[in-house]
Amino acid sequence: MNDPTIISPFDVEAIERLRQQHRLDPQQIRVLRNRLMKHFRSDEEAAADFPLPQSLRFHVLDQYRRFDSDVDGATKMLFRTDAGMLIEAVILRIATGRTTLCVSSQVGCAAACDFCATGKMGIAKNLHSFEILDQVLQAGQILAAEQTSLDNIVFMGMGEPFHNESNLTDAIDLLTATDHFNRSPSRILVSTVGVCDGMIRLAERFPKINLALSLHSADQSTRETIIPLAKRYPLDQLRETIARCNTMQGHEVMIEYLMLDGVNDTEVDRERLSRWLDGLDVHLNLIPYNPIEDAPHLRGTASDEITDFASAMKSRGIKTTVRYSLGRDIDAACGQLVRKENRTFAIQSHSTTASISTGSQTGDF
């Protein structure tokens, strides 16, 4: 927010100062918020009859590009932040009629998972809670214009949510606040590669929020190979964390399991996984792998073998589903479309700084 006199509708304290300074009727604030955050009206409709529309900056993100799938109705939005970095959010229009928004919590990701394009971007910057919320607002406005509602919000986009925990929880506070977005916590899911302390804090603060763990292997050495952060949070600690979340929340945790050929899909892997999940209240979600340029050594498990894996887990009494990936024609992998442009921006920014301070015409990121 470059101009301090122009404020975001998400800025609770600034909105209250504005109300007091101009002696606005609290009902005028309620109407503005209801139109914008609950009904996702357009900016013009939301500001209708509001006495100081020039004081508001409705969006902290600029929509840079939009990609609409010709296959399944998914929409991928690329947003530019004030700093010039790109992030992405994806609207998934499920065949059942429900819609899900996948939002980002960071630019890049420090978790650096081997299979993830976002983790290979070489940068990790936290998004402000306003930038997280604006993804929801702009997606909601797109759907409202289609006379469709936004049903679910999942933090499965760019970034490890618990590496940006403060902004994550601030965003969830307003998403679930009755005087703001008024979203049901049970319709919000936060996915993590396994930041145990963050999972426990979120479960305590928002017991109805859904949690998902990107497990991907029940073998510690294998998991460390594909998820470097696993060295900090070993499997025994993760299992204890899920058990605690089950107790605090009273509902299941989703276990995400990316199917990688020859890495985690053997009969031995099935046995390890079923033993690890035994006694936990979980829902196993098997995910077909979409290859990325930066991991040519990884291949996805064949679809018939994924089906066999799922059947084997079900026979062991584990609730199991196979994820159907939408938007493949517009999204080869999360973060892939923005990686090169963000890296170019970082190099240019570094080069500009070097040029100002030293007169150099070159820079390296």
Query: Is 109 labeled as catalytic in the residue annotation?
Result: no
Cβ–Cβ < 8 Å for 301, 337: no
* Annotated catalytic residue, options 109, 116, 196, 334: 334
Alpha-carbon distance of 273 to 257, in angstroms, equals: 10
* Annotated catalytic residue, options 13, 88, 116, 305: 88
Tokens representing 241 are 């964390």
User: Which residue do the tokens 């199991």 mark?
Assistant: 320
For 137-169, letters b (16+ CB in 10 Å) and e give: bbbbbbbbeeeeebbbbbbbbbbbbbbbbebbb
Tokens representing 171 are 């965003």
Query: Is 196 labeled as catalytic in the residue annotation?
Result: no
Tokens representing 237 are 């600690």
For 86, 114, 233, the CA distances from 222, given in Å and listed in that order, are: 32, 11, 14
Alpha-carbon distance of 357 to 353, in angstroms, equals: 6
The residues annotated as belonging to the active site are 88, 334
